[in-house]
């Protein structure tokens, strides 16, 4: 194996696991300890990794670094589970849902596997597998196709062609980072392009991101903070993040991870939205009535019928108890559509 091939493999292992050990690389590559250390030094000099005792790690804070799925899965597990649980309050049977690639969205996908009658469009093989493994015959799963990135997203022209022709009721999208100036970002140019197409295809944009993503910036922006209808993060979000995001997004929800100290009373948490006191140690979903408020509020604030491809009933807004209306259904399957469209029309006047 040539030196460049070894070094490419070393970088791939770091993307997958976040770090590598010299001893493990010696066994895998069948070369000497000195050869591996020389490769690590070359990569360190190029700014591609950081050397540590006995191995190397990813470069902290790099806008280009993209950890692999396995590495990210081990991070902030309690936070991701709490966020996924809170996100499920926005889901109803029979709607069209977009799910981006990522470990937080994968946690959502495992829960979506239990919801009847939904159609899910995703650019993630892992998300598609989680849904098909659920075994429900009344679900439809659409996998976009495309070229796979280190985070297991499918990107490129094939993915874009599919996304340009679908119309989603709701999109759950994960991010590499969120920042006041950069907005929501990805370290991969093609993945950012695919994310933009997913955002444009959805009537309701729900960003899911744990608190460590705050003030992290990836290489490419794909949406402004103000484009998010709902941002679900966790109660570890610092005070400046709560202030900025609370002012930018239409609704900020702080999910309560297990064993974490509760957020202040003035900040919305998943527990508080559920009608409780918000102080429970286990994550709880918002009620269906609260979810309907989020959906209706987002639609009223647009006043133009929703995002691109919203369909004829996309601009509907109704009372707090109204259900989310699937983009693909007509009035026969969505009682009260005409009434909600009338409300939307009055709101625009």
Structure confidence by residue, pLDDT tens digits, 181-202? 999 999 888 899 999 999 999 9
Q: Does residue 328 belong to any structural domain of this protein?
A: no
Which one, of 99, 58, 100, 104, lies nearest residue 77 by Cα? 104
Q: Quick: pLDDT tens for 226-260.
A: 999 999 999 999 999 999 999 999 999 999 998 65
Q: Which of 263, 292, 321 is the last residue of a domain?
A: 292
Average pLDDT estimate for 317-336: 32
Domain identity same for 75 and 180 = yes
Domain identity same for 120 and 17 = no
Domain identity same for 89 and 54 = no
Domain identity same for 42 and 91 = no
Domain identity same for 25 and 116 = no
Q: Which residue would you say has higher pLDDT here, 63 or 240?
A: 240
Average pLDDT estimate for 85-92: 97
Cα–Cα distance, 160 to 206 (Å, whole number) = 20
Q: Which of 60, 79, 108 is the last residue of a domain?
A: 60
Domain identity same for 264 and 160 = yes
Task: Check pLDDT > 60 for residue 149.
Answer: yes
Sheet holding 96-99, edge to edge: 140-143, 119-122, 96-99, 168-174, 202-208, 230-234, 252-255
CA distances to 17, 45, 179, 340 from 201, rounded to whole Å, are 33, 42, 23, 21
Q: How many domains does the chain have?
A: 2
Q: What's the domain range around 7? A: 3-60
Domain identity same for 84 and 197 = yes
Contact 118, 93 (CB under 8 A): yes
For the ranges 26-30, 65-69, 286-290, the maximum mean pLDDT occurs at 26-30
Q: Give the pairing of strands 19-21 and 147-148.
A: unpaired
Which one, of 293, 227, 265, 234, lies nearest residue 90 by Cα? 293
Cα–Cα distance, 111 to 313 (Å, whole number) = 27
Q: Tell me, what's the pLDDT at 93?
A: 96
Q: Quick: pLDDT tens for 261-281.
A: 555 544 555 644 433 333 333
Q: Tell me, what's the pLDDT at 114?
A: 95
Q: Quick: pLDDT tens for 167-178.
A: 999 999 999 999
Domain identity same for 55 and 98 = no
Cα–Cα distance, 347 to 341 (Å, whole number) = 10
Domain identity same for 108 and 9 = no
Domain with residue 30: its CATH number is 1.10.10.10
What HEC string does 220-241 produce?
EEEECHHHCCEEEEECCCCHHH
Mean per-residue pLDDT over the chain, rounded: 77
Quick one: tokens of 235? 């109660």
Quick one: tokens of 102? 């990522």
Domain with residue 225: its CATH number is 3.40.50.1360
Q: Which of 292, 307, 339 is the last residue of a domain?
A: 292
Per-residue b or e along 14-47, where b marks 16 or more CB atoms closer than 10 Å to that residue's CB: bbbbbbbebeebbeebebeeeebbebbebbeeee
pTM of the prediction?
Answer: 0.65
Average pLDDT estimate for 285-309: 47
Domain identity same for 158 and 209 = yes
């Amino acid at each position: 194996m040539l030196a460049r091939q070894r070094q490419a493999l070393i970088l791939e292992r770091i993307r997958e696991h976040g770090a590598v050990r010299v001893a493990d690389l010696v066994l895998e590559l069948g070369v000497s300890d000195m050869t591996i250390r020389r490769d690590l030094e070359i990569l360190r000099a190029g700014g591609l990794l950081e050397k540590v005792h006995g191995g190397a790690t990813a470069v902290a804070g790099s806008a280009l670094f993209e950890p692999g799925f396995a590495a990210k899965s081990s991070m902030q597990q309690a936070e991701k589970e709490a966020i996924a649980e809170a996100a499920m309050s926005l889901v109803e049977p029979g709607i069209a849902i977009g799910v981006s690639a990522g470990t937080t969205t994968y946690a959502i996908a495992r829960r979506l596997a239990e919801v009847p009658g939904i159609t899910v469009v995703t650019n993630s093989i892992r998300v598609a597998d989680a849904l098909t493994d659920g075994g429900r015959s009344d679900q439809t799963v659409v996998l976009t196709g495309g070229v796979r990135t280190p985070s297991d997203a499918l990107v490129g022209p094939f993915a874009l062609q599919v996304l340009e022709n679908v119309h989603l009721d709701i999109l759950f999208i994960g991010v590499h980072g969120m920042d006041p100036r950069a907005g929501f970002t990805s370290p991969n140019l093609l993945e950012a392009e695919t994310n933009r197409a997913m955002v444009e295809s959805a009537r309701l944009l729900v960003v899911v991101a744990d608190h460590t993503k705050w003030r992290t910036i990836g290489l490419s922006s794909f949406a402004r903070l103000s484009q998010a209808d709902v941002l679900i993060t966790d109660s570890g979000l610092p005070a400046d993040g709560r202030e900025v995001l609370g002012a930018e997004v239409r609704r900020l929800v702080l999910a309560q991870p297990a064993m974490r100290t509760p957020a202040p009373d003035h900040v919305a948490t998943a527990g508080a939205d559920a009608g409780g006191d918000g102080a429970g140690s286990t994550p709880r979903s918002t009620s269906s009535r609260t979810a309907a408020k989020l959906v209706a509020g987002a639609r009223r604030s647009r006043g133009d019928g929703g995002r691109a491809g919203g369909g004829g009933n996309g601009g509907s807004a109704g009372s707090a108890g109204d259900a989310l209306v699937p983009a693909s259904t007509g009035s026969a399957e969505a009682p009260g559509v005409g009434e909600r469209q009338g409300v939307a029309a009055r709101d625009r006047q």
